[in-house]
Amino acid sequence: MKYLMLLPAFLLFNQLVSAQSLAECAEKSQQTLENSFKSADGTYYLEKRNSDNPFFHYWWNAHALDVLVDGWERSKDEVYLERIEVLVNNWVKNNDGSLFKEYYDDMEWYALALLRAGESTENQAYTGLAYQLWEDIKTGYNSNQGGGIAWRKNQLDYKNTPANAPAIIFACRKYQLTKDTDDLVLAISLYEWLKAHLVEASGKVNDGVNRQGKGAVDYWQFTYNYGIYIGAAYELYRATGEERFLNDAFKTANYCIEAPDIVVNDILKDEGGGDGGLFKGILIRYLTHLALDESLSKNYRKSYVQFLEDQTHLLMSNGYDERGIIGSNWLVKPDDEFWTSSQLSGMMLIEAAVKCGFNIR
C-alpha cells in the first residue's frame, strides 16, 4: 500500500475520533443511519439523508436489515432487535401491500437478510418469511439462455449474476438448515449455469446475458458481482465439501482484489450513489467469510485479511465523516448528497472490520 500521501489525512482523522475504536465508529454510523436516514414514520430507510422523497427501496432496505443484524451481533444491544422488528413488521405496508417484488434479485436480498435475522435473533417468523420469498423466487427458474433464474418476472429470458448468485447462497444456507436436497440440486444447477455463461477462466465475473434480446453478454464490472459469486462458491463448498467450489471462490477472490477495474489506487472503486453505492459493501460482506474461515488455507486468508484491513484503513483515514456518514468514494469525505446506499456499504466494511478484530491505526 502507498500510504505516504494519505498520512496527513490519517493524522487528522485520529484527532477527530480521538480514542474511538472501530466498534465505536460502527455504533456511531448505526446511530446516524437511525437518526438521519429514517422515514418520517420511522419504519424504513430513505433514499438519502433527511430526504423528502418517501420512496421505499426494497433491496436497499434488505441490506439495511443485514446491517442491523451486524449491529446486533456486534453489540447484543436489544435496541437492534427493536429496529429489526419495526423494519420487518412494516415491510408489506411499505411495499404496497405485498411481500413480493417484480425483481427476483430484490427478493433474494431480502430473503437472505431475513434468513440471517431469523438465525441470529432466533425469531422463526423471519425465517418463515424468507421461505415464502424463496417459493416465489424459484418461479424465475427456466430454460431460457440454457438455465438460471431470470432478473425479473416480465423479462424471463434475461439472466444475470445478481439474480443467480444470491439465489445459490440462499439455497445452500436453507439446505444446511433443512437438508432439503431439492435446494442443493437447484443451487448446483444455478451455479453451473452461472459459471458457464458469465464467469471467465481467470475468475472474472461478468454481469448478464440477453438483456436486449440478442444473446449478448454484458461485460460490466461491478464489485458486488464478485462478492456474490465468491459467496455462492463458498456456500456450495460448505454444503458439499467439494474442493472445486472452494477453488473457484479463491480464484475469483484473488482476481478481484488485483483487478484494475475493481481496485483503483488501492481502494475499491467508486461506483457512485444510487444502486451503485451498495456494491462495494456487498463484496466486503462475502469476502469476509473467506477471510474469517480458519479451516481454509492460511496463505489465502492472509491476503484477504490484509486487503480488508487496507480498505478499512483507507476509509477511516480519508472517507469517514466524524458524524458517522460515509460516501461512495472511500478516499474522500462524503459530499452533500448522503446516499443511504453508500452509507450502508461503508457500514458493512466497518462492521466487518470489527469482526476481523482490526484496530484504527
DSSP string across 95-126: TTT-S--SBHHHHHHHHHHHHHHHHHHT-HHH
> For 278, phi and psi rounded to 5 degrees?
-85, -15
Phi-psi region of 264 (alpha: psi -120 to 50; beta: other; left: phi over 0): beta
| Tens place of pLDDT per residue across the chain (361 aa) | 433 333 333 333 444 444 479 999 999 999 999 999 999 999 999 999 999 999 999 999 999 999 999 999 999 999 999 999 999 999 999 999 999 999 999 999 999 999 999 999 999 999 999 999 999 999 999 999 999 999 999 999 999 999 999 999 999 999 999 999 999 999 999 999 999 999 999 999 999 999 999 999 999 999 999 999 999 999 999 999 999 999 999 999 999 999 999 999 999 999 999 999 999 999 999 999 999 999 898 888 999 999 999 999 999 999 999 999 999 999 999 988 899 999 999 999 999 999 999 987 6
Per-residue pLDDT reduced to its tens digit, 103-160: 999 999 999 999 999 999 999 999 999 999 999 999 999 999 999 999 999 999 999 9
Q: How far apart are CA 325 and CA 31, in angstroms?
A: 10
CA dihedral 197, 198, 200, 201 (to 10 degrees): -50
| DSSP, res 276 | G
**Partner residues linked to 205 by β-bridges:** 199
Q: How far apart are CA 264 and CA 71, in angstroms?
A: 29
Residue 325, SS3 per DSSP: coil
Residue 48, SS3 per DSSP: strand
Q: How far apart are CA 194 and CA 246, in angstroms?
A: 16
Question: How many CB atoms lie under 10 A from the CB of residue 336?
Answer: 7
Q: Where are the alpha helices (DSSP H) in the chain?
A: 7-17, 22-36, 58-75, 79-89, 91-94, 104-121, 124-137, 161-178, 181-198, 223-240, 243-256, 279-292, 298-318, 340-356
Residue 158, SS3 per DSSP: strand
**Nine-digit cell string for 51:** 430526504
> For 76, phi and psi rounded to 5 degrees?
55, 25
Q: How far apart are CA 66 and CA 48, in angstroms?
A: 18
Determine the residue type at 107. M
Report the candidate in 338, 316, 328 with the shortest Cα–Cα distance to residue 24: 316
